[in-house]
Amino acid sequence: GEKVEQHESTLSVREGDSAVINCTYTDTASSYFPWYKQEAGKSLHFVIDIRSNVDRKQSQRLTVLLDKKAKRFSLHITATQPEDSAIYFCAASGRAGGYKVVFGSGTRLLVSP
């Protein structure tokens, strides 16, 4: 079945810098790639997603890039703020897996002032 690997377990940046979180997946049939954020002591909430019919999607300070050939996708956060500090989870989903969502292990992003 699908496996999603999240390469950075922790990432520390200074406020105002950019942050990039990288993920890879194994199932070429995966077609949907959401990202979720989990702040300390809270549950997950959705931040952005990308579908396989595009290779880039931007929402304000967030951009997701998808490289289907390399089976790799990434979340780029520009002009980071302390409130961006959280654990970010990438995920993948596709028809072959019955559309269940498989999550990566999470990247703890720390934005210091």
Partner 1 sequence: NAGVIQTPRHKVTGKGQEATLWCEPISGHSAVFWYRQTIVQGLEFLTYFRNQAPIDDSGMPKERFSAQMPNQSHSTLKIQSTQPQDSAVYLCASSFSGTGGARAEQFFGPGTRLTVL
For residues 108 and 92, give the distance between their C-alpha atoms in angstroms, rounded to a whole number.
19
CB 66 within 8 A of CB 52: yes
For residue 54, give both structure tokens.
């595009």
Cβ at position 14, least distance to partner 1 in Å: 27
25-84 residues near partner 1, rule: CB under 8 A: 31-32, 34, 36, 42-46, 49, 51
Is residue 3 at the binding interface for partner 1, with CB under 8 A as the rule?
no
Is residue 100 at the binding interface for partner 1, with CB under 8 A as the rule?
yes
Among 18, 58, 105, 112, binds partner 1 (CB under 8 A): 105
Is residue 98 at the binding interface for partner 1, with CB under 8 A as the rule?
yes
Q: Nearer Cβ to partner 1, position 28 or 112?
A: 28
DSSP SS3 for 104: coil
For residues 52 and 45, give the distance between their C-alpha atoms in angstroms, rounded to a whole number.
21
Residue 110's nearest CA partner among 17, 47, 48, 36 is: 17
Q: Which positions lie near partner 1, rule CB under 8 A? A: 1, 31-32, 34, 36, 42-46, 49, 51, 89, 93, 95, 97-106
